[in-house]
Amino acid sequence: MNKEVTIYDIAEQLNISASTVSRALNDHPAINEKTKKKINQTASELGYRSNLFAKNLRAKSTMTLGVMVPKLDSYFLATVLAGMEKEANQSGYNLLIAQSLDSPKKEIANAKTMFNSRVDGLLVSTLLSIEEIGHFEPFLRKGIPILFFDRVLDVKKIPKIVIDNFQAGYDATAHLIEQGCKKIFHFTGDLGWNVYRDRYHGYLKALADANVSYNEDMLFVTNLSLEASSEVSQQIAELDDKPDGFFVTNDTCAASLMVSLKKEGIRVPGDIAIIGFNDDPITRIVEPRLSTVHYPGEEMGELAARSLISHLKGDSNVQLTNTIVLSHELIPRGSTTRFKEV
């Protein structure tokens, strides 16, 4: 392995003093532009990497934001990241992204990697519970701001950006009730996560408000895989007393469930009306088109990055904010339209 290039190597190469090199690399006004250009060019040629550490101060930023997410396999997260990149680009920041693949251990390792990469701030959709978030403390102690989005926790000094998942779950369920559904099942993920838990509570409240009955057999908690959708579909096909409505916590599972049910000879929305969540492109590809709740992913990403950057620039103190709630929107489509006049 090569030795790390230092300012002394650059100085030697150009036959100037190391302090001139140091000041040039830090854009000091005492050094003229021509010299700066020459020094920067040589630094680049030699493969010099700015040594923030040696200064013993976080005076200079790395212009890097860390983003920690559960899994990079959803359209929703792709839109959030696109929104973040858009804002970051405008302010000259780059994003470093890490996924925890639904492993708490990996989320903790990723936090360490982000910390050692000296990110200026951190945007996190977390897997962990409030008791397990010691991995964020080193950031807070150093004054590196953190912001939670989507999957969030209530932690002091860590603001969060969310949608009102309770209300969104309520709205989706109330829509099915309006369409005449009287036996509405719910297909969701791990209820330990705020997003699924809140939607589930919204679903329960909507049923209760309309005096629609509920029991635990109507709830399917799965890992939200395509295989899970097939299994749920098979269980429904075998039921004597079938549901007439289904609120599914994401569009991929909803679309897959719809296709599986149709193969079993069940009509959608005639026999069972189905509503999904997120407003992914797949909702417009399946037949009938899938009703859903629009989740403003790109806006969430933009706002999250903008808030953090504004804090880093000293324009505002993001840590004074507790929660920002974005608007969701019910999108009724063919998969729930049981009456001509809605």
Verify binding: residue 291, its own copies, rule CB under 8 A.
Answer: no
Residue 177: CB minimum distance to its own copies, A:
27
Verify binding: residue 81, its own copies, rule CB under 8 A.
Answer: yes
Near its own copies by CB under 8 A: residue from 141, 216, 241, 341: 141
Verify binding: residue 95, its own copies, rule CB under 8 A.
Answer: yes
Longest CA–CA separation in the chain, Å: 87
The answer to whether residues 275 and 292 touch, using CB atoms and an 8 Å cutoff, is yes
Near its own copies by CB under 8 A: residue from 64, 222, 319, 337: 64
φ and ψ of 269, to 5 deg? -95, 0
Q: How far is CA 227 from CA 51, 216, 297, in A?
A: 49, 22, 26
Near its own copies by CB under 8 A: residue from 14, 16, 18, 96: 96
**DSSP-H helix ranges across 281-333:** 297-312
Residue 17: CB minimum distance to its own copies, A:
19
Residue 206: CB minimum distance to its own copies, A:
28
Verify binding: residue 102, its own copies, rule CB under 8 A.
Answer: no
What is the spatial distance between Cα 309 and Cα 124, in angstroms, rounded to a whole number?
A: 15
Residue 274: CB minimum distance to its own copies, A:
13
Residue 304: CB minimum distance to its own copies, A:
16
Near its own copies by CB under 8 A: residue from 16, 78, 218, 237: 78
Verify binding: residue 30, its own copies, rule CB under 8 A.
Answer: no
Q: How far is CA 130 from CA 156, 265, 319, in A?
A: 11, 45, 18
Verify binding: residue 44, its own copies, rule CB under 8 A.
Answer: yes
What is the spatial distance between Cα 245 and Cα 186, in angstroms, rounded to a whole number?
A: 9
Query: Which residue, 51 or 319, is less far from its own copies as judged by CB?
Result: 51
Length of the chain (residues): 342
Near its own copies by CB under 8 A: residue from 19, 26, 41, 71: 71
Residue 184: CB minimum distance to its own copies, A:
23
Residue 256: CB minimum distance to its own copies, A:
6
Selected range binding its own copies among 146-154, 165-173, 254-262, 316-324, rule: CB under 8 A: 254-262
Residue 41: CB minimum distance to its own copies, A:
12
What is the spatial distance between Cα 124 and Cα 234, in angstroms, rounded to a whole number?
A: 36
Verify binding: residue 98, its own copies, rule CB under 8 A.
Answer: yes
Size of the site for its own copies (CB under 8 A): 63
Verify binding: residue 215, its own copies, rule CB under 8 A.
Answer: no
**Hey, what long-range contacts does 190-197 have (CB within 8 A, 24 or more apart)?**
190/221, 190/223, 191/221, 192/129, 193/127, 193/151, 194/151, 194/152, 194/153, 194/162, 194/165, 195/150, 195/151, 195/165, 195/249, 196/249
Verify binding: residue 57, its own copies, rule CB under 8 A.
Answer: yes
The answer to whether residues 18 and 8 touch, using CB atoms and an 8 Å cutoff, is yes
Verify binding: residue 58, its own copies, rule CB under 8 A.
Answer: yes
Near its own copies by CB under 8 A: residue from 39, 206, 255, 318: 255
**Helix crossing, 251-263 with 226-238: angle to 10°?**
40
Q: Which two tokens stand for residue 247?
A: 């609120």
The answer to whether residues 297 and 83 touch, using CB atoms and an 8 Å cutoff, is yes
The answer to whether residues 144 and 122 touch, using CB atoms and an 8 Å cutoff, is yes
> 264: left (phi > 0), else alpha (psi -120 to 50), else beta?
alpha
**Hey, what long-range contacts does 89-92 have (CB within 8 A, 24 or more apart)?**
91/309, 91/313, 92/63
Verify binding: residue 248, its own copies, rule CB under 8 A.
Answer: no
Could you list the residues that contact its own copies (CB under 8 A)?
1-4, 6, 44, 47, 49-51, 53-59, 62-64, 71-73, 75, 77-79, 81-82, 85, 89, 94-99, 101, 106, 109-110, 112-113, 115-118, 138, 141-143, 226, 252, 255-256, 259, 262, 281-282, 284-287
